Amino acid sequence: MESTRPVTGELAHIGKSVFIKGELSGSEDLYVDGEVEGTIELRGHSLTVGPNGRVRAHVHARNVVVQGKVTGNIQASERVDLRASANVTGDITTARISVEDGAFFKGGIEVQRESKPEHKVEVKPEPRSEQKTEVKPASAYATTAAGSNTGSSFSSQTSVGDHKKN
């Protein structure tokens, strides 16, 4: 059972007989094998819900591993692992997710992407669309200069036409 716990330093443990109701937060990894109701805030750390764990809470953590039962939304900045014995009802927002065969999940999944690649993708089409609007008059010029050429050969002639205009 020790190998299923994500460990990044210290680890707090909530045993089978412990029931917590309210807001739970911490600056270390947490292993829950008892019952928690409310909210769990471990934004820079990992939460593992053990096979006996019963969580009725909204969860915010870096990584979340579920072996028991979670009812509530899960937000994990890095990863969510639903093991075969997991029973999750609620929405999951994370960068990566793993669902083992046999796990039960009912809810929505939103996979977040890093913002840097999106900006790169968005920036590239903008110059292309501007070039296309500039190319149309130049392609008409290239057609008259080249005679009856049509089709894909315009792309190479269009750039020549643009240089002639400048």
My answer on whether 64 and 131 are in the same domain is no
21 and 39 together in one domain: yes
Per-residue model confidence as pLDDT tens digits over 95-106: 999 999 999 999
**pLDDT (0 to 100) of residue 131:** 42
Evaluate if residue 16 carries a pLDDT over 90: yes
Looking at the fold, whether 35 and 75 belong to one and the same domain comes out as yes
Query: Quick one: which H or E segment has residue 30?
Result: strand 29-32
17 and 91 share one domain: yes
Categorize the per-residue pLDDT at 166 as very low, low, confident or very high, splitting at 50, 70 and 90. Answer: very low
**Do residues 88 and 39 both lie within one domain?**
yes
9-17 LR contacts (CB < 8 Å, sep 24+) = 14/53, 16/52
Work out the angle at residue 153's Cα, subtended by the Cα atoms of residues 147 and 156, and round it to the nearest 5 degrees: 105
Tell me: do 108 and 122 sit in the same domain: no
Same domain, 108 and 125: no
Domain holding 121, by residue range, is: 117-165
Domain co-membership, 99 together with 122: no
* Same-domain check for residues 25 and 43: yes
Q: Of 72, 88, 112, which residue is a domain's last?
A: 112
pTM of the model: 0.64
Return the SS3 of 60.
strand
